[in-house]
């Protein structure tokens, strides 16, 4: 080969190669480090808001981002963090694309750009990948939305067993296990209040992360609570499904009084019309908690099929006067979307962070964690069963779900009583 | 849908990995027609087929033609690239959320005793059968069809007798794409579609075509029936979420023991 | 040539001293995906057996070491070997079925995809491995558990993995084994006619490739701590694995590395610059276009083309 023929040429070529590689790598490294230099000027408190704004969860991800931004704007407009001389909150946005490796990289990127706290990230998989970053870099991480219990539980365990010094990960959202418990509780309470006793409930769910987790939690809670109604059949489907006629037939064969679906938007669009088509004779559709049953987009597509559907889902407290104002602003800024779980919890997350900073009076991570653990916050817009507090695992036991119902083409809170904006309609009227 | 794939393979021996994504575009075109122009998909599918025909011819002329003689790996990668571009352009253009097309037929059902039949699906089935029949007649009765089959059997021989093989290839790809466009449009009121669904549809198409036999039209048709029945049975007897497992296992078994499928010719 | 490589390695070793943690993370993924691509290269590049289901091996390795660590307290330093071994077993099965039954080209691709999807669906439905929720590994930062408090430690591990895989591939290329693989890729029937046991060599390539990929799975598990069936067995991961050697140069020693250095920054940049608006997935469009371009114009990948360019410029 030509290598052997001309030794002098080898030197020039290899020198070129080595030089170019070095230059390329250095340029690349410099480019990666560059943004950090630009941002170091105005002293603001930077929060990395990381959500899946692109990819399959783009819609809720974008809602989260907007909710967070609105909260930051509101806080800054009101004067910022007073105990830190009116320091404003600046959000550095990140996108997980619903992938754990991207989640991790984005967390590192925003920290590199100056983020002193992290908030995110909706889907448990990416959220979990951000946890090590928070622990490694000592950056407090408030999980605004993500249900998987291990996210905080694992960290709490590591701290308890001495492998980690401080827990930097906290969550203000109902955990997977609490979803199930509350759902079972609400089911029984609604049945009792309506003075009907459905006996046969068929649980149908989308066989993905969220669906499986919720379904398991629901069944476990049901086994523990032993209410007067039975889960007579459990029917999962692969998400997203092409067709649910087989599943619904199977449900029908179980002679259900209630269909309890855990869906995603795609499957809900198939499931509800199918229930109608196969003429299931049921008292109602009551969901243990899932997306797909209340969003504006879903209502537009499903119309009458969604009417009277109940769903036990985290929801904003519309009896709080501020909530409606924020919802209206959200409607405007998002061009027509409802202020719901996603935007709501991200909004509350930022408001909560502001409260923590006020009490911490410092930007030191350990001081922030101290203040976090002592939180007793009542300024949230979401429906809570008490003030926002954090238990030993790092979760907020007062973050609960609300039973909502689609009435008149709009989702409204109907149960528990202290959250209800309207009275529920159950059993559903015969078609 | 599978018919289109088998046609492309049969004539050109090119495996179209972008098949599913083309179908998704068919669905989105139908959706656009329905929402912007108010055209019902059961009529609009003709337009979708036409658009995709042009697209197919274009792809063939510009890209596939260059690698028809190249090793398989190159073809696979090329179509994979096309698939990626199609899927993500759809994502950018339409967003990731699932859509459905509204059609008045969607809600109708006919009850035959304890069994019910979904009118929309019935119409789709009828139209699909009609199209397949039309295609079959085209291949067996028309000159172009004959040329196509000749080229499929023996490209060199076909050239010798004066057939414009490149044109034949272009038309074949175009028709294949048109089939899938029509399929997408016909199915759009029944099934929610999203850009990410392309891959699943491609795999399903391959399943069907492999089982029925690559290059065989009746095989593709029968393959479709077999796969749907198997999946439904799987859903009833096993857990419904395992029905994908059934079709994949079936695929593996067929690949191992009869890669030519039930009716197809052996691989080159 | 050798001292260029040494200089480059020395540079890479020294880099973390100047880089911020974000850049370190980007490099970690460059190295990691290059490692996986290099492992794939053995069976896909050299032996020419296109496997589009290599994610299956990543998943098996990842879940194995994660479970062994959590249930039996087995350190992942050993767990990765067990994971690799199990992946190799799966690789043997796939290879055996594929090669013994004479599946070539497209049919083999489909077989590998089917296996990966079967793995994914099984994992999705098996509660013991966390099902759809996934498996969540506790972060302790304990090096004995293959975890590190400092990101830079991961950098060196990833770099080490990439270098080891590259050394293995270079060794294969030099030896007769590599010559056999290339010959099989170019014309399998001729090889068989000459009496070469193609089955044996293809199997060996598959076993080595799947073992290494399985080891990579352990790195994934103990770097991200988050295992979901769709992420770790899914087709997107298989695409990431395959595209790097293809673009960089399948069947060459430096191809996967070059491919990774091209594609990872591309994905990063496209996410940062396009991720703001509705341009979701823009980097995947770029991947697709790049793939098309490579197939049409640079079918052997970037590295051989670059090499030709340099050879010409040096004259």
Look at chain C and report how many structural domains it folds into: 1
Q: Please write the tens of the pLDDT for every residue from C252-285.
A: 889 899 999 988 888 888 777 766 555 556 677 7
| CB distance B204 to B227 below 8 Å | yes
Does this complex have an ipTM over 0.95?
no
Q: Going along A5-154, which residue ranges are E strands?
A: 45-51, 89-95, 117-120, 141-143
Question: How far away is chain A from the Cα of C101, in angstroms, using its nearest Cα?
Answer: 31
User: Exposed, middle or buried, A116 (CB in 10 Å: 0-12/13-18/19+)?
Assistant: buried
Nearest Cα residue to A240 out of B195, B30, B192? B192
Whether A151 and chain C come into contact, CB under 8 Å, resolves to yes
Q: Which residues of chain A have pLDDT under 50?
A: 1-41
Q: How many whole angstroms separate alpha carbon B10 and alpha carbon A420?
A: 63
- What is the pLDDT, as a whole number, of residue A39? 45
Nearest Cα residue to A168 out of A362, A380, A400, A390? A390
- Torsion angles phi and psi, residue A424, rounded to 5: -75, 160
CB-based contact B242 C290, cutoff 8 Å:
no
- Three-class secondary structure of residue A231 per DSSP: strand
Whether C73 and chain A come into contact, CB under 8 Å, resolves to no
Chain B contact partners (≥3 CB pairs within 8 A) = A, C
- Three-class secondary structure of residue C19 per DSSP: coil
Q: How many whole angstroms separate alpha carbon A351 and alpha carbon A103?
A: 23
Nearest-by-Cβ selection for A95 from C225, C228, C271:
C271
- The A residues from 200 to 229 touching C (CB cutoff 8 Å) are 207-213, 216
Q: In the A/B pair of chains, how many CB contacts fall below 8 A?
A: 61
* Set of chain B residues whose Cβ sits within 8 Å of the Cβ of C109: 76
Q: Please write the tens of the pLDDT for every residue from A149-163.
A: 899 999 999 999 988
- What is the pLDDT, as a whole number, of residue A112? 93
Length of chain B: 268
- What is the pLDDT, as a whole number, of residue A17? 42
Nearest-by-Cβ selection for B97 from A59, A236, A270:
A59
* C312 within a domain of the structure (yes/no): no
Q: How many whole angstroms separate alpha carbon A209 and alpha carbon A402?
A: 22
- The dihedral built from the CA positions of residue A391, A395, A396 and A400, taken in this order, carries a sign that is negative
- What is the pLDDT, as a whole number, of residue C211? 95
* Set of chain B residues whose Cβ sits within 8 Å of the Cβ of C122: 245
CB-based contact A266 B192, cutoff 8 Å:
yes
Q: How many whole angstroms separate alpha carbon B3 and alpha carbon B138?
A: 13
Counting residues of chain A whose pLDDT is more than 70, the rounded percentage is 89
Whether A136 and chain C come into contact, CB under 8 Å, resolves to yes
Chain A contact partners (≥3 CB pairs within 8 A) = B, C
Radius of gyration of chain A measured on its C-alpha atoms: 25
User: Exposed, middle or buried, A367 (CB in 10 Å: 0-12/13-18/19+)?
Assistant: middle
* C195 within a domain of the structure (yes/no): yes
* C112 within a domain of the structure (yes/no): yes
CB-based contact C122 B248, cutoff 8 Å:
no
Name the residue of chain C whose CA is nearest to A237's CA. Answer: C125
Nearest-by-Cβ selection for C280 from A55, A135, A155:
A55
* Set of chain B residues whose Cβ sits within 8 Å of the Cβ of C246: 77
Report CA-CA distances (Å) from A97 to A66, A373, C84, C256. 16, 30, 29, 24
* C172 within a domain of the structure (yes/no): yes
| CB distance B151 to B173 below 8 Å | no
Sheet holding A200-206, edge to edge: A230-237, A200-206, A258-262, A284-287, A310-313, A402-407, A410-415
| CB distance A200 to B205 below 8 Å | no
- B231-248 in b/e form (b: 16+ CB < 10 A) is bbebbeeebbbbbbbbbb
> What is the arithmetic mean of pLDDT over B10-20?
60
What's the predicted TM-score (pTM) here? 0.82
Nearest-by-Cβ selection for C289 from B85, B87, B203:
B85
User: Is residue B267 predicted with pLDDT exceeding 70?
Assistant: no
Model confidence band, residue B121 (pLDDT cutoffs 50, 70, 90)? low
Name the residue of chain C whose CA is nearest to A163's CA. Answer: C140
Model confidence band, residue B11 (pLDDT cutoffs 50, 70, 90)? low
Q: How many whole angstroms separate alpha carbon B86 and alpha carbon C285?
A: 8
Q: Other CB atoms closer than 10 Å to residue A197's CB: what's the count?
A: 11
- Residue B219, sorted as left (phi over 0), alpha (psi -120 to 50) or beta, turns out to be alpha
Question: How far away is chain A from the Cα of C80, in angstroms, using its nearest Cα?
Answer: 19
User: Exposed, middle or buried, C72 (CB in 10 Å: 0-12/13-18/19+)?
Assistant: exposed
For chain B, the structural domain boundaries read 2-195
- What is the pLDDT, as a whole number, of residue B178? 78
| CB distance A302 to A268 below 8 Å | yes
Q: How many whole angstroms separate alpha carbon C53 and alpha carbon C38?
A: 15
Q: How many whole angstroms separate alpha carbon B135 and alpha carbon B103?
A: 26
Q: Which residues of chain C have pLDDT under 50?
A: none
Report the residue of C106, C109, C122 to disrupt the B interface, i.e. the one with the largest count of B CBs within 10 Å: C106
Q: Going along C158-261, which residue ranges are E strands?
A: 226-227
Q: How many whole angstroms separate alpha carbon A113 and alpha carbon A107?
A: 10
Length of chain C: 315
* C298 within a domain of the structure (yes/no): no
Domain range for C161 is: 2-231
Beta-carbon-side half-sphere exposure of residue C23 (alpha carbons within 13 Å): 19
* C104 within a domain of the structure (yes/no): yes
Using omega within 30 degrees of 0 as the cis cutoff, is the peptide bond preceding C240 cis?
Answer: no
């Amino acid at each position: 080969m030509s290598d052997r023929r001309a030794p002098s040429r080898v030197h020039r070529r290899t020198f070129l190669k080595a030089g170019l590689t070095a230059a390329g790598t250095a340029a690349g490294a410099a480019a990666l480090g560059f943004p950090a230099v630009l941002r170091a000027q105005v002293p603001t408190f930077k929060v990395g808001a990381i959500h899946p704004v692109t990819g399959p969860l783009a819609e809720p991800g974008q809602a989260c981002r907007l909710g967070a931004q609105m909260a930051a704007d509101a806080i800054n407009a009101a004067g910022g963090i007073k105990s830190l001389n009116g320091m404003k909150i600046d959000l550095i946005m990140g996108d997980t694309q619903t992938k754990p490796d991207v989640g991790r990289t984005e967390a590192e990127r925003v920290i590199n750009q100056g983020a002193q706290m992290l908030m995110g990230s909706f889907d448990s998989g990416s959220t979990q990948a951000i946890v090590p970053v928070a622990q490694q870099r000592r950056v407090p991480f408030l999980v605004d939305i993500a249900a998987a219990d291990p996210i905080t539980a694992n960290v709490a365990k590591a701290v308890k067993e001495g492998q980690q010094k401080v827990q930097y990960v906290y969550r203000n959202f109902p955990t997977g296990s609490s979803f199930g418990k509350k759902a079972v509780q609400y089911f029984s309470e609604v049945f009792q209040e309506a003075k009907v006793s459905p006996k046969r409930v068929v649980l149908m769910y989308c066989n993905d992360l969220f669906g499986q987790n919720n379904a398991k939690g629901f069944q476990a809670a049901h086994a523990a609570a032993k209410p007067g109604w039975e889960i007579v059949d459990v029917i999962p489907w692969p998400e997203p499904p092409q067709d649910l006629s087989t599943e619904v037939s199977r449900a029908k064969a179980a002679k259900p009084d209630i269909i309890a679906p855990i869906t995603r938007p795609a499957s809900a669009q198939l499931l509800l019309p199918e229930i109608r088509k196969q003429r299931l004779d049921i008292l109602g559709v009551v969901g243990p908690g899932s997306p797909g049953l209340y969003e504006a987009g879903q209502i537009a597509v499903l119309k009458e099929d969604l009417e009277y559907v109940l769903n036990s889902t985290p929801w904003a407290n519309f009896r709080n006067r501020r909530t409606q104002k924020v919802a209206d602003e959200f409607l405007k800024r998002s061009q027509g979307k409802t202020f719901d779980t996603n935007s709501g919890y991200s909004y509350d997350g930022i408001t909560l962070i502001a409260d923590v900073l006020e009490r911490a009076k410092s930007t030191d991570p350990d001081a922030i964690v101290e203040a976090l653990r002592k939180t007793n916050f009542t300024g949230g817009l979401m429906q809570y069963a008490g003030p926002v507090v954090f238990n030993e695992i790092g979760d907020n036991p007062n973050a609960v779900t609300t039973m909502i119902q689609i009435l008149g083409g709009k989702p409204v809170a109907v149960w528990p009583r202290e959250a209800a904006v309207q009275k529920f309609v159950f059993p559903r009227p015969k078609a | 849908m599978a018919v289109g794939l088998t046609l492309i393979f049969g004539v050109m021996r090119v495996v179209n990995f972008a098949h599913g994504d083309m179908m998704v575009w068919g669905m989105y075109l139908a959706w656009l027609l329905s929402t912007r122009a108010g055209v019902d998909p059961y009529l609009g599918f003709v337009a979708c087929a036409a658009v995709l025909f042009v697209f197919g011819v274009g792809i063939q002329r510009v890209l596939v033609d260059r690698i028809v003689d190249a090793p398989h790996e190159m073809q696979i990668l090329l179509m994979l690239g096309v698939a990626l571009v199609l899927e993500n352009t759809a994502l950018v253009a339409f967003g990731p959320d699932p859509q459905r097309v509204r059609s008045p037929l969607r809600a109708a059902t006919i009850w035959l005793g304890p069994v019910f039949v979904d009118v929309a699906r019935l119409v789709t089935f009828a139209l699909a059968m009609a199209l397949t029949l039309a295609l079959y007649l085209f291949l067996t009765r028309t000159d172009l069809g004959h040329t196509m089959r000749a080229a499929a059997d023996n490209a060199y021989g076909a050239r010798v007798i004066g057939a414009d093989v490149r044109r034949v290839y272009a038309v074949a790809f175009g028709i294949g794409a048109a089939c899938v466009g029509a399929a997408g449009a016909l199915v759009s009121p029944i099934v929610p579609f999203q850009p990410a669904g392309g891959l699943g549809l491609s795999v399903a198409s391959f399943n069907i075509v492999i089982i029925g036999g690559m290059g065989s039209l009746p095989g593709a048709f029968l393959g479709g029936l077999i796969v749907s029945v198997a999946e439904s049975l799987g859903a009833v007897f096993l857990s419904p979420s395992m029905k994908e497992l059934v079709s994949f296992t079936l695929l593996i078994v067929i690949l191992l023991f009869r890669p030519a499928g039930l009716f197809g010719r052996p691989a080159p | 040539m050798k001292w260029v490589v040494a200089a480059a390695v020395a540079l890479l070793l020294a880099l973390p001293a100047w880089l911020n943690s974000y850049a370190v993370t980007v490099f970690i993924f460059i190295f990691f995906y290059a490692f996986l691509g290099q492992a794939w290269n053995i069976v896909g590049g050299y032996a020419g057996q296109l496997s589009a289901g290599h994610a299956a091996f990543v998943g098996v390795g990842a879940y194995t070491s994660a479970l062994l660590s959590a249930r039996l307290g087995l350190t992942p330093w050993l767990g990765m070997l067990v994971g690799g071994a199990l992946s190799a077993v799966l690789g043997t099965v796939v290879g055996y079925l594929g090669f013994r039954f004479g599946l070539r080209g497209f049919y083999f691709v489909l077989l590998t995809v089917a296996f990966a999807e079967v793995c994914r669906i099984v994992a999705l439905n098996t509660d013991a491995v966390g099902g759809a929720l996934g498996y969540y590994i506790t972060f302790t930062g304990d090096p004995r558990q293959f975890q590190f408090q400092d990101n830079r430690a991961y950098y060196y591990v990833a770099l080490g993995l990439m270098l080891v895989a590259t050394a293995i591939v270079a060794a294969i290329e030099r030896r007769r084994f590599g010559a056999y693989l290339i010959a099989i890729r170019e014309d399998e029937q001729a090889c068989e006619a000459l009496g070469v046991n193609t089955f044996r060599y293809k199997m060996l390539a598959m076993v080595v490739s799947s073992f290494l990929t399985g080891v990579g799975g352990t790195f994934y598990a103990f770097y991200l701590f988050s295992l979901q069936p769709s992420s770790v067995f899914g087709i997107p991961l298989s695409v990431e694995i395959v595209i790097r050697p293809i673009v960089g140069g399948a069947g060459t020693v430096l191809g996967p590395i070059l491919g990774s250095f091209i594609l990872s920054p591309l994905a990063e940049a496209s996410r940062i610059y396009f991720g703001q608006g509705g341009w979701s997935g823009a980097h995947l469009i770029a991947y697709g276009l790049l793939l098309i371009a490579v197939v049409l114009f640079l079918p052997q990948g970037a590295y051989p083309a670059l090499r030709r360019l340099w050879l010409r410029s040096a004259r």
